Copies of this chain bind each other. A is one copy, B any other.
Amino acid sequence: MAKQNKIIITAAVTGATHTPSLSPYFPSTPDQIIEDAVKAHKAGAAVVHVHARDPKDCSPTPDLGVMKEIVTSIKQQCNAVVCVTTGGAVWMSSEQRLAPAVDLQPELASCNAGSVNFVFADLAAKLENPKYDWEIPYLKRTNELVFTNTFTGLEYYLNTMNEHEIRPEFEVYDVGMINNIAYFMKKGLVQKPVYLQFVMGILGGIPATVDNLVYLVKTAREQIGDFVWSCAAAGKAQFPLVTAALTMGGNARVGLEDNLYLKPGVLAKSSAEQVLQIKEIAERLGLEIASSDEARQILDLKGIDKVNY
């Protein structure tokens, strides 16, 4: 695997896990999401990863118009690569989750590499006076759900992304999912460079330990061959794990989707703060930060001029 010279920082600014009342700094309206994405890019994130939220109640939404508003505004304000989620939220249908990619044809979209329990019900205990009624039931309901990504679904996602020249960013939640990707590679549905995002520490998936990260990377080396990879980790494991990734030749995803804190006990005021912090660590490790255009080269993206927004 050729050594990468510059590292890509991805900022995942919102996601579909956290609810607004978990942090006063959490961006929940489309405007907040846009603002935070742009700030994160300016702080050093070559890529911003976005989910849509309902402008009224700030809950995750499959509304295509909202997603379009978000990515369009980001495009107008900065040069960031936008990675559009196809994970949506755990309760959305497969079609709902894929729709933004079909509609907007972004440069990069997430692609979840298999099924897994995706439980964050224990966050409910942290909400004493939630602003919205939906928050606690939303969190608790994850006990009853599976994040469903069937092989038929994956095949459909990959064909669609290939058709629109969207690079899939494979979200890998456990070891077996690497084999799923290898399976679709053998079927000719995955084009190089393969881009893996190891998403660690989701309850149901592989825990966020350096041991596990090393094992994922070694397994991918044996099953995928050459690939580009990044690491995201839930909660307080975020900085240790993402930093460990940097020491291993990987890229870094930070952002309030994964972790609300900057340090133990200190809430991050924005994803940009986390971007800055990982950038400072990277620099002390002798690493340089990729610009968005450098990220486009590393990931061989089609370019911002070819998106449909």
B-contacting residues of A (Cβ < 8 Å)? 114-117, 119, 121, 142-146, 148-153, 155, 173-176, 179-180, 183, 202-207, 210-212, 214-215, 218-219, 221-223, 236, 239-241, 243-244, 246-248, 263-264, 277, 280-281, 284-286
Contacts and interface: CB of A to CB of B under 8 A. Distances in A.
A203 B183 contact: yes
A145 B115 CA distance: 10
Contact of A247 (B116, B153, B210, B280): B210
A244 B239 contact: no
- Most chain B beta-carbon neighbours within 10 Å: one of A179, A239, A264: A179
Oligomeric state, in copies: 4
Contacts of A144: 150-153
- Most chain B beta-carbon neighbours within 10 Å: one of A151, A205, A246, A264: A151
B284 A116 contact: no
Contact of A117 (B143, B150, B264, B281): B150
A259 B212 CA distance: 28
A180 B240 contact: no
Nearest to A205: B176
A149 B144 CA distance: 9
A239 B286 contact: yes
Given A114-B116, A176-B204, A210 B248 contact: yes
B143 A152 contact: yes
Given A114-B116, A150-B117, A150-B146, A218 B211 contact: yes
Contacts of A174: 174-176, 206
